[in-house]
Structure 1
Amino acid sequence: MSAAPSISIIVPVYNVEKYLARCVDSILSQTHSDFELLLIDDGSTDGSGAICDRYAGRDDRIRVVHKENGGLSAARNSGIEIARGRYLGFVDSDDYVDADMYAHLYGIIEKEDADLAVCGYYDCYCDRPLRKNDPYYAVMGPQEALNLVFDGKISGVSACNKLYRSEIFDEIRYPQGKISEDAYVIVRILMKVRKVVVSSEQKYYYIHRNNSVTTSRFSRNQLDVIEAYQLNYKLVGEAFPESLQMAFGRLCWAHFIALDRMLLSHAEREFSREAKELVRFIRTHLREILRCGFLTRNRRLSAVVLACSFPLYRFLLNRYASKYMALNE
């Protein structure tokens, strides 16, 4: 067997034949060439599996796994199980990366002797210009890193703009059957690191599609985001108590996001019990929300509106839906 590569890049693949070539080509073009690319075909029913096999026939750095459909988390976990690299990276198959993304991440994680390296990313919508980050570079411990990813201005909880020392995943796997899977594991990941290096240079392109998880019609599993941040609140209380207020702010944010997606999909009658519980939580915690510096001024004002009138909140949300999505997606 050849020497282990420095990086294993794991790409779950499911019915993305329109986008897969762009993703794979962007990875094969990396200026850091010492990597293996693990394409995990998660039971695709279109031509995605065949595309994976064609690429594997042309580049011996590629390994393909064909498996029964189990969802994004199961596909990532399959990649983690067979990865040989000292570091792990994740790319979603409808996204793409700059040619120097892994050279940049590998360079800074080695330079700083860190366990986790983070770069900036672009949120890509068809009708919005790309937003540039301000310059930022820092080396920090897990507490500060937790605050940074929860704050979300430079980098959020996403798995895909990061490079991880592979040992981090010795005991961590993504939760199967859930969405918001990145949120479920981020605190556990940061509990396993001693040093994190963060660069705001944007190297990853996160594509928002009309039929993606984040823009689709509301379904019950979109309440997973609340479960994830309930878990995070508990873990933060145990491991990072200084960040408990920020963790609570994220839990409130999760309730707002779930409620807003439900209302924008006009699904509040179908999910009437859940809608009432979301509203009750926000109203019950109104005082804490108004004092929470993590939440934006507009978000705190919207909590006041909701406390006064649910119909008015729903009207304003739908009236300014496009602006809301730009600010809160």
Structure 2
Amino acid sequence: MCEISIIVPVYKVEKYLEKCVDSILAQTFTDFELILVDDGSPDRSGAMCDEYAQKDSRVRVIHKENGGLSSARNAGIDVAKGRYLGFVDSDDYIAADMYELLYQEITQSQADLAICGIYDVYEGKDPVTKSVIHKTVSADEALLLILQGNNISVHAVNKLYRRELFQNLRYPEGKYHEDSFVIVDLLEMCQKVAINSQQKYFYYHRLGSINTEKFSDKQFEFIEAWEINERKLKGKGQAIEAAAHQRVCFAKFMVLDKIFSANAEKQVPQTKSLIKDLRQNYFFILRDPIFTKNRKIAMTSLMFSRSLYKKFVLLQRQQLAS
């Protein structure tokens, strides 16, 4: 028995795995087990996991057939011995005191869930520092903050969970954006959520070339997740309902942007309906305080012309990549 089980799905990440695992083993909080789930990785990642297990008794390795991120997380949950669960993605890394901070927050406030902040890491760019929220809130208050997404994100990886939350819950296998599918169900089981949004998790973004990026229909599952969540949140009050609808619109923007970035609009028949749906929400988007000024400008350009909107999207992508 240990206090925390940290679960890391591993697949084709030999370039990033060392930095990830070393950052976990260097934690100032030491009463944890690290479960590395080799999800049928074809590169050296699985062997690297075994090497870590030989060097550090806190490391356990599961080797399994490839089943995707959710399948790997679920395999880790099934064997976890900790009172609390945490997740780290194998191409990311964490600050040395991340789990110390999360453990203090969840135990001192007797919460069901603790959340810290995330740095978005892009090659050649300094991560943006955000303002800090530090308070213990109800599940509904936490839900609203996550839906708004300014300081607190939906990601599974910047959180520490009371193990019982996963007694009857698992990540949906075969789904894209699996975090979005479970967040509402997780919060419904919480009484209190401890938030300290100091940025302790480093989320690494690998940007593909604009000319080579492919579009997959799996991206539409991002919209599906938030449409399901919007239905679940009906009757939760005006603020939460508006935030849930904002998330649906945001998901449609993200998918439309990926279609245009991949020059796939002629191959994806849903492009027209996406544009139609966003245009029907024009005034909602303009009034909503969560959408940025740039997003509202982009939406206005979409009202005039899809080609103008596409130019705006590609310009934004080039600025991120440069």
Matched, 1:189 2:163: no
> Which residue is equivalent to 1:294?
290
What is the one-letter code of the residue matched to 1:52?
A: C
Deviations 1:256-277 (A, max 9, x none): 1100111011111111x11111
Give the whole-Å Cα distance in 1 for the aligned partners of 2:91 and 2:288. Answer: 35
Q: Deviations over 1:257-300 (max 9, x none)?
A: 100111011111111x1111111111122232233233223322
Give the equivalent residue in structure 1 for 2:13: 16
Residue of structure 2 equivalent to 1:71 = 68
CA distances 1:138-185 after superposition (whole Å, capped 9, x unpaired): 110011101111222212101111000011111211111121111111
Q: Aligned pair in 2 of structure 1 residues 216, 14: CA closer, same or farther (>3 Å)?
A: farther
Aligned: 1:6 with 2:11: no
Cα 1:236–1:103 change in 2 (3 A) is: same
> Secondary structure at the residue paired with 2:241?
helix
SS at match of 1:45: coil
TM-score (norm 1): 0.92
- For residues 217 and 199 of structure 1, what CA distance do their matches in structure 2 show? 37
Which string of whole-angstrom CA distances, capped at 9 and with x for unpartnered residues, describes residues 105-148 of structure 1? 00111111111101111111112111112232111001110111
Residue in structure 1 matching 2:101, options 104, 107, 122: 104
Distance 1:319 1:103 in 2: 40
The alignment's C-alpha RMSD in Å is 1.8
Could you tell me which amino acid in structure 1 is paired with residue 75 of structure 2?
S
> Deviation at 1:236?
1.4
In 1, Cα distance between equivalents of 2:42 and 2:13 = 10
Matched letter for residue 305 of structure 2: S
User: What amino acid does structure 1 have at the position aligned with 2:282?
Assistant: L
Q: Where in structure 2 are the equivalents of 1:1-329 lying within 5 Å?
A: 4-210=1-207, 216-237=213-234, 242-271=239-268, 273-323=269-319, 325=320
Query: 1:210/1:296 Cα in 2 relative to 1: closer, same or farther (>3 Å)?
Result: closer
SS in 1 for 2:6: strand
Q: What displacement does 1:202 show?
A: 1.2
For the residue of structure 2 that corresponds to 1:86, the secondary structure is strand
Task: Name the CA distance, whole Å, in 2 between partners of 1:318 and 1:92.
Answer: 28
| Aligned-partner residue type, residue 304 of structure 1 | T
8 Å CA contact retained: 2:213, 2:261: no
Q: Residue 5 of structure 2 aligns to a residue in which SS?
A: strand
Aligned length: 319
Deviation of 1:240 after TM superposition, in Å, equals 6.0
Is the CA contact (8 Å cut-off) linking 2:53 and 2:60 kept in structure 1? Answer: yes
Task: State whether residues 298 and 312 of structure 2, in contact with CA within 8 Å, keep that contact through their aligned partners in structure 1.
Answer: no
1:81–1:239 Cα change, 3 Å: farther
Q: Give unpaired runs (5+ residues) of structure 2.
A: none
Partners of 2:4 and 2:82 within 8 A in 1? yes
Which whole-Å deviations, capped at 9, do the CAs of 1:50-89 have from their partners, x for residues lacking one? Answer: 1111111122211111000000010001111111111000
C-alpha contact 1:100 1:203 (8 A) present in aligned 2: yes
Structure 2 SS opposite 1:93: coil
Q: 1:46 to 1:240 in 2, by over 3 A?
A: farther
Distance in 1 (CA, whole Å) between partners of 2:315 and 2:37 is 41
Q: Percent identity?
A: 47
Measure, in 2, the Cα distance between the counterparts of 1:85 and 1:241.
Answer: 38
